[in-house]
Amino acid sequence: MQRVRSSASEEDAAEQPRRSWKQDPHGVRLNILQVAREAFAQKGLSGARIEEIASQTSTSKRMIYYYFGDKEGLYREVLADAYRRTREAEDALELDGLPSDEALRKLAEFTFDNHRRSKDFIRLVMIENVHEGRHMPDSTEMSGENSSAIRLLEDIYARGLEAGVFRPGFSAVELHWLISALCYFNVSNQATFSHIFGRELFDEDGQTKLRRHVGDMVLRLVLA
C-alpha cells in the first residue's frame, strides 16, 4: 500500500540518483511527476486518483498541491514532461552517413521500435487526445518545426529528391504524419485490435513483419 515508487516503467531509463527526499524540493517534484506519469498513463485524467498517486510517492498529498496547484496542473506538467522526454529520445537518432532511402527506412523503423518502448507516453497522448488537446503545453516550446524528427525528415527527403531517388510531392510533416500513424496505432490500438483479430500481429514475429511493412510502405511511397 505504502510502496514508494522510485524506479519505474521501461521508459525511465536514467533517473536521478535518489537518497533521502527530505529537504530536496527538486527530488520531491521529480518523484511526484514520475509516479503521476504512471498513474495518469494507466488510468487517465479523471481515472487517476490523487490519493493513490500520493501514496506511491515519497511525500504526501499536500505536496502535490503545493507544487502543482491541482490535479489538472499535475496532469499538465506530466504531459509536458512526457513530451520533453520523448523529444530527447528522438534526438538520439543519427542517420547522417546513410543514403536517403536507407535513412528513411531506418527512421521509420526506429520510430516503430521507439513507440513500442514508450507505452506510457503513447497512453498519455491517447488520453490527451480524448481531452481534445486541452492540456497541451504552450506550442512555442512544442513547435514541431524544430523537432529533430521533422528536421531529419526534411534533410533525408531533400537529399533523396536531389539524388533523384524520391519523387516530389511530400512535406516533412506529411511524412512524419504517415510514419507516426503506423507506429502509434501499433501501440495505441493493440488492445482492441488484438481482441478482434487475434494476437498474432503483436507477437515477436508479427511485429517484425509489421515493422518491415512500415519501412516498405514509407519508402515505396516516396520512391521515384
Residues contributing to the site for its own copies (CB under 8 A): 43-47, 123, 125-133, 136, 139, 142-145, 147, 150, 170, 173-174, 176-178, 180-182, 184-186, 188-198, 200-201, 209-210, 213, 216-218, 220-221, 223
28-29-32 Cα angle (round to 5): 85
Q: Out of DNA, its own copies, none, which partner does residue 200 contact, by CB within 5 to 8 A per kind? A: its own copies
CA pair distance 64, 52, nearest whole angstrom: 12
Instruction: Establish if 175 lies at the interface with DNA (CB under 7 A).
Output: no
Phi, psi of 123 (to 5 degrees): -65, -40
The dihedral sign for the CA sequence 165, 169, 173, 179: negative
Question: In this structure, what DSSP letter does residue 22 have?
Answer: T
Which of the stretches 9-17, 59-67, 124-132, 173-181 binds DNA when contact is defined by CB under 7 A? 59-67
Task: Name which of 172, 139, 170 is nearest 154 in CA terms.
Answer: 172
Q: Out of DNA, its own copies, none, which partner does residue 188 contact, by CB within 5 to 8 A per kind? A: its own copies
Instruction: Establish if 61 lies at the interface with DNA (CB under 7 A).
Output: yes
Q: Out of its own copies, DNA, none, which partner does residue 151 contact, by CB within 5 to 8 A per kind? A: none
Tell me, what amino acid is at 86? T
Instruction: Establish if 25 lies at the interface with DNA (CB under 7 A).
Output: yes
